[in-house]
Structure formats: structure tokens, C-alpha cells
Amino acid sequence: MQTHFTIDCVIYSFNEGKLQVLLTERNEYPYKDWWALPGFFVDKNEEMEGAVKRILYEHTGLKDIFMEQLGAFAGVKRHPQGRILTVAFSTIVKYDDVKSKIKPMTSYMRQASWFPVTALPELAFDHHQIIQQSLQKLKNNIHYSTAVYEFLPEKFTLTQLQQVYEAILGKELDKRNFRKKIANDGFLKELQEVQKGVSYRAARLYKFDKRKFQKHVGVE
């Protein structure tokens, strides 16, 4: 038996202190005019991972971004025209890198736009379920993955990092405890540089040191 095979992408970014998801407004039936996750069919000889990169590029103009499989959604009734198996992936982009590039690249969608995960519109297909499942996983893995750093520029302040944690976990954290833990982990590199262009005391900048992180997590 054969099935149609698509990819849907949960593309996150961080802006205005909130965790945001990129959605597209559909211009085709079924679910015409509904908001949906960016998604499309996988080509015959295209690797799944390549397909995810392609859609990410088509929607955001970005390349070479970390991405993770969430799982397959294959309900016979998830699509009105019969089973379309979709594999959901999630990726994280930096809002500022993307904001000027986003535009609909195909006639299948009318526009693309960011929504805070706390204020999503009604969504086509089972996309709401996909997002919720993805969010849960993001929360669960926050301490074991490099995900948080994907939201931030190369150089960032500890306050920015804490805001990302808070947006993902959906709760406030204690500043001193947060810094203590981060310092303890020891995979941030303190730079001899501070923020610029702020009208208050400039914060020190840090870099994420991937090598130290991998030692910490125990990657071989």
C-alpha cells in the first residue's frame, strides 16, 4: 500500500519576549483561508532531511539550521481526501535573521506570519496537536539540548538567555539561581565585551561553547 508523504515544519523563533511559531495562510482547498504549519510534499528521490531544509529555506530564506524530528502523523482521517502521512519536524531560527525574508514562495499560501505559542489561531488538519506535542518536547529537553542557543545571536547576554528559558518553560525563573546554574554548567564563554546601544548599564556578552557542552552531556 502506498500513501502520500508530506513534511510539516514547526518553525520557532523568539521575539518580544515570546516564543513564536511561523504559520501560513492556505490558499487552497481543503482548509482554504485557514492557518496551517508550513508543509509540502516530499519529492520521489528527495531525502526527508533535505526536504525539511528546503521548506525552511523557502519560508525563511535560511540554510543550515538545526532541526529535529517529532514523529509521524498518519491518521486515515487527518486529511479529507484520505491518508496523507506527514512527518513533523521542528526547527529554530533567529527572528532578526528572518524577518525581512519571509514571504509566500508558492501559490499554495497567501501569507506567512509569526504567532506567539500562547495565542495561536485555529489551525488546519491536526496541526494544533502537532504544535502542542512539539512544545512539550522542547520543554522536556531544554536542559539537554542546544535549542535555546539557536534562538539567540552568537553573542548574547544572560538576561536574554533567561528570557528564552522563561518563554519555553512558560514560567519565571530566579535571576541569581539561573546565573548560578549556568555558571556551574560552565559551557558559556564570558567575553570581554558588553552590549552596545542601550540606555542603561550595558550587560556582559557571552558565547555558547559547543565543545564544552558536548563534554558535559557526554557525547563521544
Site residues (CB under 8 A) for a copy of itself?
1-5, 41-48, 69-72, 74-76, 83, 85, 87
Among residue numbers 177 through 206, which ones bind DNA (CB under 7 A)?
177, 179-181, 184, 194, 198-204
Which partner from the list a copy of itself, DNA, none does 180 bind, CB cut-off 5 to 8 Å by kind? DNA
Rounded CA gap, 180 and 174, in Å?
10
Candidates 190, 187, 157; CA nearest to 175 is 157
Which partner from the list DNA, a copy of itself, none does 46 bind, CB cut-off 5 to 8 Å by kind? a copy of itself
* Residue 158 in contact with DNA, rule: CB under 7 A: yes
Which partner from the list DNA, a copy of itself, none does 113 bind, CB cut-off 5 to 8 Å by kind? none
Which partner from the list a copy of itself, DNA, none does 217 bind, CB cut-off 5 to 8 Å by kind? none
Rounded CA gap, 14 and 1, in Å?
41
* Residue 28 in contact with DNA, rule: CB under 7 A: no
Q: How far is the CB of 115 from DNA (least distance, A)?
A: 24
Rounded CA gap, 55 and 118, in Å?
24
Candidates 121, 126, 103, 115; CA nearest to 30 is 126
Number of residues forming the site for DNA (CB under 7 A) = 19
Per this entry, what is the length of the chain? Answer: 220
Which partner from the list a copy of itself, DNA, none does 133 bind, CB cut-off 5 to 8 Å by kind? none
* Residue 217 in contact with DNA, rule: CB under 7 A: no
Half-sphere exposure of 23 (CA within 13 A, CB side): 22
Q: How far is the CB of 140 from a copy of itself (least distance, A)?
A: 8
Considering beta carbons, is residue 52 or 112 the nearer one to a copy of itself?
A: 52
With contacts defined by CB under 7 A, name the span among 21-29, 41-49, 97-105, 155-163 that binds DNA: 155-163
* Residue 171 in contact with DNA, rule: CB under 7 A: no
Query: Measured between alpha carbons, how far is residue 96 from residues 1, 27, 29, 80, 132 in Å?
Result: 44, 27, 32, 37, 25
Place of cell 504559520: 23
Angle of the 127-140 helix axis to the 158-169 helix axis, nearest 10: 130
Q: How far is the CB of 137 from a copy of itself (least distance, A)?
A: 11
Those residues whose C-beta lies under 8 Å from the C-beta of residue 53, and which sit 6 or more positions away, are: 63, 64, 65, 67
Quick check: 186 and 202 in contact, CB under 8 A? no
Rule CB under 7 A: which residues touch DNA?
Answer: 157-159, 174-177, 179-181, 184, 194, 198-204
